[in-house]
């Protein structure tokens, strides 16, 4: 039997979005610690949100080229389960050794050359399209990945498909790529940074039905 596909709701920044992710049965929820993002939360805000419900989705912290001290300061306030980073593969060993948590690397993929090498020691990947020209963020730009290209990728590691996913297209995306799960942010929003509880529920249901 195929394991149930996993769902991550990223960019959680309000009590309503947090509660919706928990109620819908999301497997992971993400806090964005990158100030240029409209979904940015401070460590204190993330800690207050996380404290609303014990257990439930695993907490993921998203960082962009973080320093070790930066992550350490945040972990003193927020009990993160997983670190998700926009960083080179060379940064992963230090992160794993310092913090003893799984590290997922964000991957922008345009060609097969962008796939990680077999010796990459990341614990998992969040895979999306490369940022479009003029983008101000390294990810989370709501651009669809090349699903046909990703259907050719084989890796024993856990990964989540991201980029431009919505409740309406996520089933087709997973069917084509055979991704173990999906990561969504803007696809469950009514405006940048404003999550819709109804869309969160619909997205989680669409993935878990698979």
The pLDDT of residue 210 is 85
> Each residue of 135-163: pLDDT tens digit?
555 656 577 999 999 999 999 999 999 99
Give the bridge partners for 64, in sequence order: 86
The pLDDT of residue 137 is 59
Contact 61, 31 (CB under 8 A): yes
The pLDDT of residue 78 is 96
Q: Give the whole-angstrom CA distance, residue 77 versus residue 149.
A: 40
Classify domain 6-208 at the CATH superfamily level: Aldolase class I (3.20.20.70)
How deeply is 69 buried, as exposed, middle or buried, from its count of CB atoms within 10 A (0-12, 13-18, 19+)?
A: exposed
The pLDDT of residue 174 is 97
The pLDDT of residue 166 is 97
Backbone φ and ψ for 39, nearest 5 degrees, come out as -105, 10
The pLDDT of residue 142 is 72
Ranges under pLDDT 50 in the chain: none
Q: Give the whole-angstrom CA distance, residue 39 versus residue 30.
A: 10
The pTM for the full model equals 0.93
């Amino acid at each position: 039997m195929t394991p149930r596909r996993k769902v991550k709701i990223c960019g959680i920044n309000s009590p309503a979005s947090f509660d919706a992710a928990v109620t819908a049965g999301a497997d992971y929820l993400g806090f964005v610690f990158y100030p240029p993002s409209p979904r940015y939360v401070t460590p204190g805000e993330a800690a207050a949100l996380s404290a609303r419900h014990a257990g439930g989705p695993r907490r993921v912290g998203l960082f962009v080229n973080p320093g070790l001290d930066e992550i350490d300061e945040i972990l003193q306030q927020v009990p993160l389960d997983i670190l998700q980073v926009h960083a080179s593969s060379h940064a992963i060993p230090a992160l794993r050794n310092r913090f003893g948590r799984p590290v997922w690397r964000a991957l922008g993929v345009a060609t097969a050359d962008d796939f990680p090498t077999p010796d990459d020691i990341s614990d998992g990947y969040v895979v999306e399209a490369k940022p479009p020209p003029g983008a101000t963020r390294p990810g989370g730009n709501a651009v669809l990945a090349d699903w046909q290209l990703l259907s050719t990728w084989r890796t024993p590691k856990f990964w989540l498909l991201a980029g431009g996913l919505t409740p309406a297209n996520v089933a087709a995306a997973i069917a084509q790529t055979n991704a173990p799960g999906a990561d969504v942010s803007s696809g469950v929003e009514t405006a940048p940074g404003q999550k819709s509880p109804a869309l969160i529920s619909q997205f989680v249901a669409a993935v878990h039905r698979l």
